[in-house]
């Protein structure tokens, strides 16, 4: 029970990587707070499955007032926060010339501004030994930007820089790290043409997609005492896809 008595908040935790991360934290004894935006049924299902003293909080992390309310609820019920996983993210799949300012701003509002605001509020509740794990993407790596997801790729690059900068500012009290997954086998994959999925697999040196639980295990490691000397780090979980 590596995380007994630990309070963990995971944004975007009703499905995919966030849901698997919630399950693993609970299995290791943590109390898990599941943030979600729209899919209340899936969020409730995850909370029922993990069956701990956690809670559901609906909040749009692109909106500061909803973030403030979310952390007010956490503070009232638990009076502290040990771990924040900034997992929520969105993408607009459009050619650059067709991408609107509204779509661009919305992606940044969720993928980086929401991360900034959540981290700021989390730090107020964290004691020595706190941990923040931010979810980026291999598309945020300096040589891995991809069309037609300019908004997503650049926002995920900002996540990496934000992580390294914040890690310096909140040390030695709190550790801040990033996980950059490759193509992961989530619900999003269902909307991608099969031939493109096969190309992603072929480009990976492990010749397969990454499973959400594999990313979740990496998040747990970075949040654990085993990673007590790690801060400002970027761990890539992509089966070697970014090597090709």
Q: Is 152 a catalytic residue?
A: yes
The more confidently predicted of residues 239 and 172 is 172
| Residue 236 in domain | yes
| Residue 62 in domain | yes
> Which has the closest alpha carbon to 167: 138, 135, 130, 141?
130
Best mean pLDDT range from 99-103, 175-179, 191-195 = 175-179
| Residue 1 in domain | no
Least confident residue range of 99-108, 135-144, 222-231: 135-144
What is the per-residue pLDDT across 213-222, written as a single tens digit (0 to 9) for each? 999 999 999 9
Q: Is the pLDDT of residue 145 over 60?
A: no
Least confident residue range of 39-53, 181-195, 216-230: 181-195
* CATH number, domain containing residue 166: 3.40.50.720
| Residue 238 in domain | yes
pLDDT for res 95:
80
Q: How confident is the model at residue 142 (pLDDT cuts 50, 70, 90)?
A: low
| Residue 2 in domain | no
Catalytic residue among 36, 108, 152, 205: 152
Q: With beta carbons less than 8 A apart as the criterion, state whether 139 and 191 touch.
A: no
* Domain that includes residue 230, residue range: 7-243
> Which has the closest alpha carbon to 158: 113, 97, 101?
113
Reduce the DSSP state of residue 89 to 3 states and report it: coil
Return the beta strands (E) in 37-82 as ranges: 55-58
Per the structure, the count of domains in the chain is 1
| Residue 185 in domain | yes
């Amino acid at each position: 029970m590596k995380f007994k008595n630990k309070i963990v908040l995971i944004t975007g935790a009703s499905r995919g990587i966030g849901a698997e991360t919630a399950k693993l934290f609970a299995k290791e004894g943590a109390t898990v707070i599941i943030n979600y935006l729209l899919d209340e049924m899936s969020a409730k299902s995850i909370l029922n499955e993990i069956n701990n003293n956690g809670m559901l909080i609906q909040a749009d992390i692109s909106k500061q007032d909803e973030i403030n309310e979310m952390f007010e609820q956490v503070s009232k019920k638990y009076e502290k926060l040990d771990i924040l996983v900034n997992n929520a993210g969105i993408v607009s799949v459009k050619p650059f010339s067709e991408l609107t300012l509204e779509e661009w701003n919305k992606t940044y509002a969720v993928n980086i501004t929401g991360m900034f605001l959540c981290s700021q509020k989390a730090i107020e509740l964290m004691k020595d030994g706190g941990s923040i794990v931010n979810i980026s993407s291999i598309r945020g790596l300096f040589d891995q930007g991809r069309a037609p997801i300019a908004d997503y790729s650049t926002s995920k690059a900002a996540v990496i820089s934000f992580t390294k900068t914040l890690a310096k500012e909140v040390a030695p009290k709190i550790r801040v790290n990033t996980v950059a997954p490759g193509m992961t086998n989530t619900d999003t994959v269902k909307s991608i043409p099969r031939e493109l999925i096969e190309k992603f697999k072929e480009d990976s040196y492990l010749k397969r997609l990454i499973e959400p639980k594999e990313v979740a295990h990496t998040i747990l490691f970075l949040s654990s005492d085993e990673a007590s000397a790690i801060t400002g780090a970027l761990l890539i979980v992509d089966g070697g896809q970014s090597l090709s």
